[in-house]
Amino acid sequence: MDKFDVIVIGAGHAGCEAALATARMGFRTVVFTIALDNVALMPCNPSIGGPGKAHLVREIDALGGEMGRNTDYAYMHIRVLNTRKGPAVQALRAQTDRKLYSWRMRQVLEREPNLYLREGCVQDILVRGGKAEGVVLETGEKVTARAVIVATGTYMRSLIHVGEVHYEAGPQAQRTTHGLSRSLEELGFKLARFKTGTPPRANSRSLNYSRMTPLKGEPVSQGFSFRGKLVPKEQVPCWLTYTTKETHAIMSANLHRTALYSGAIVGIGPRYCPSLESKIVQFPDRDSHQVYVEPEGWDTQEVYLAGLSTSLPADVQVELVRSIPGLENVELMRMAYAIEYDCLGPHQLWKTLEARSISGLYFAGQINGSSGYEEAAAQGLMAGINCGLKLKGDPPLILGRDEAYIGVLIDDLVTKTIAEPYRMMTSLAEYRLLLRQDNADRRLAEYGRDLGLLSEEDYDSVQRKWDSVEKEIEALSSWRVTPSEDVNRILAEIGSAPLQHVVSGEELLRRPEMSYRKLAALGWISGVDGDLWDIVETEIKYAGYIRKQERAVERFRKLEARRLPEWLNYEEIAGLSREAQEKLTAVRPESIGQASRIAGGSPADISVLLIYLQQLRGTAQRTSQGVEGGRLE
């Protein structure tokens, strides 16, 4: 019987990051996967990034995770989204080669010391005395460990729907598992049923690209990883087309045959990534919806039809897709499908992602009710980190909502009611101007270094980068621009108001129409690498807003510092609403701040809690004084 320090169940995006974290922290780790050929599989769109999601990947990289480097290696097309909006929501997005992404991640796992990659299906989790101590494979083999991390994605009791056809399978016709769901239920965990889906894939040679709009990649020098420059490539284009009135008519005529609207699907799907049938039903006045044609790899003709996720029957899918410009003669290589699967109510977890009821048992990824590769990888990394810290006997790493999108993600999962697959978006972060994708290394690299996941060399590189940014800002604040005929002429050409008095370069750059690059026309000589110009400009232009958010963070931290005892009986606290009592009892928040974010609560309930805590503190002080004075009050 093999014995390890850590067992990771699943080698998807969560499992890979979890296993690499514990192995790199010095623990003998084994990761089990249903199929070795599908490590880090991208069963849906082979893309990484986008608003909120790119921020997660940059944070994963700053902590020493692998997703950013893997994406930079496998990208085929990359660009920055939301460039016309503020820096808080600007985000990288890359289309990757699906097979290349999987291949490299498998290589990383296979070559990592302390990490053992094995094919095998876990059926049971072994628990003794309230502590996880191993697993049982379907072969009957027992494998023991000091901790177990469950990262099974959408494979537990998964059910595929294609119109009236339903069959048990995981994504892309892989195996599903029943044993693990049963094992978790026997251990007392409450499972939910969620649903997601994927669009059809087409043969590129059957498409008429002249009827579509090309979306070209961009020359990006800094990819998702801070640890090196992005290697330039001749990028492949993506393409944009639209559904038509005919498309919508076909869908409406066959709506009753979709698994979603026939009643065959009971699981709840993602609101922010709806199927085509949902979009047509919910937005009946829309004449068209966007369809993105995106390549799946360098060496395949298979393309992904983003925006056409559906559970229509196969014959109708062909008819529907051929009603779209450029796809009139489409040859479908894979049919779209919806998939239902078991997941865990994440309120059953601590913020470390360890189960509240069983020591040493962690959960990460889509099993926690989230959606997306990036959300899964972030959870996997944090589960691995906290598992390793616990095995070392060290305090856990809990990232705050003011420190990282990862903190927002995990806090939302364990605190709020997750009624649908959770997707990270920039709107969910209260302090998103502080949590930009360009400063993730500044915020988190020290954690990565201290954990042993980020090398001293990489950490020192981060420090040098931000030292140079600060020196550049200081230099701009010292540089003086004096009004003159030539200066005002240049400003007029730029579209900026003339100077009436001497100003610093920093003051000049705060003007909305002024950019860092335009300062060169006025004689400014940059002292930093061109990749840092946008960061310098952001730090100066948004300095006032950044300070305002920093003050808000100070107020937030005061609420987070007001700890709630684990033993509180909320049902006995007079004045709390019944709903608040139920939600507080279920979530067991660790602080007043976390309690304030529980769905169903109210400001009045928080006021009651604050008063109750004050009363407890007063009682404790009087008791302490009474004991010291030789009497008990």
List, as one string, the DSSP characters of 64-128: T-SHHHHHHHHEEEEEEE-TTS-TTT-EEEEEE-HHHHHHHHHHHHHHSTTEEEEE--EEEEEEE
Total Cβ atoms within 10 A of residue 319? 15
Specify the pLDDT at position 226: 96
Q: Quote the CA–CA distance of 60 and 17 in Å, as a whole number.
A: 9
Domain 562-628 architecture: Orthogonal Bundle (1.10)
In the block, residue with structure tokens 């019944």: 578
In percent, the amount of the chain with pLDDT more than 90 equals 80
Give the confidence band of 625 by pLDDT, cuts at 50, 70, 90: low
Sketch the domain layout of the chain as residue ranges: 3-196+340-451, 201-338, 457-547, 562-628
Q: What is the mean pLDDT of residues 273-302?
A: 93
Q: Bigger pLDDT: 448 or 612?
A: 448
Q: Quote the CA–CA distance of 153 and 13 in Å, as a whole number.
A: 9
Task: Note the Cα 295 to chain centre separation in Å.
Answer: 23
457-547 has which fold? Answer: Arc Repressor Mutant, subunit A (1.10.10)
What is residue 222's DSSP assignment? S
Specify the pLDDT at position 580: 87
Specify the pLDDT at position 419: 84
CA neighbor of 7 nearest in space, from 345, 362, 368: 362
Is pLDDT at 628 greater than 70 in this prediction? Answer: no
Is pLDDT at 436 greater than 50 in this prediction? Answer: yes
Give the confidence band of 172 by pLDDT, cuts at 50, 70, 90: confident
Domain 201-338 architecture: Beta Barrel (2.40)
Is pLDDT at 441 greater than 80 in this prediction? Answer: yes
Domain 3-196+340-451 has CATH 3.40.630.10: no
Specify the pLDDT at position 205: 97
125 pairs with which residues across the strands?
135
CB 396 within 8 A of CB 390: yes
Average pLDDT over the chain reads 93
Specify the pLDDT at position 586: 86
Is pLDDT at 467 greater than 70 in this prediction? Answer: yes
Is pLDDT at 411 greater than 80 in this prediction? Answer: yes
Tens digit of each residue's pLDDT (9 = 90 or more) over 175-206? 999 999 999 999 999 999 999 999 999 999 99
Give the confidence band of 274 by pLDDT, cuts at 50, 70, 90: confident
Tens digit of each residue's pLDDT (9 = 90 or more) over 300-317? 999 999 999 999 999 999
Specify the pLDDT at position 632: 31
Q: Bigger pLDDT: 318 or 590?
A: 318
Specify the pLDDT at position 614: 84
Specify the pLDDT at position 524: 93
CA neighbor of 275 nearest in space, from 329, 344, 283: 283
Q: Quote the CA–CA distance of 363 and 152 in Å, as a whole number.
A: 9
Q: Bigger pLDDT: 479 or 607?
A: 479
Q: Quote the CA–CA distance of 139 and 123 in Å, as a whole number.
A: 9
Specify the pLDDT at position 616: 82
Sheet strands (E) in 500-629? 503-504
Is pLDDT at 527 greater than 90 in this prediction? Answer: no
Q: Quote the CA–CA distance of 211 and 213 in Å, as a whole number.
A: 7
Q: Quote the CA–CA distance of 552 and 430 in Å, as a whole number.
A: 9
Specify the pLDDT at position 104: 98
Strands 165-168 and 191-198: unpaired
Q: Bigger pLDDT: 3 or 147?
A: 147
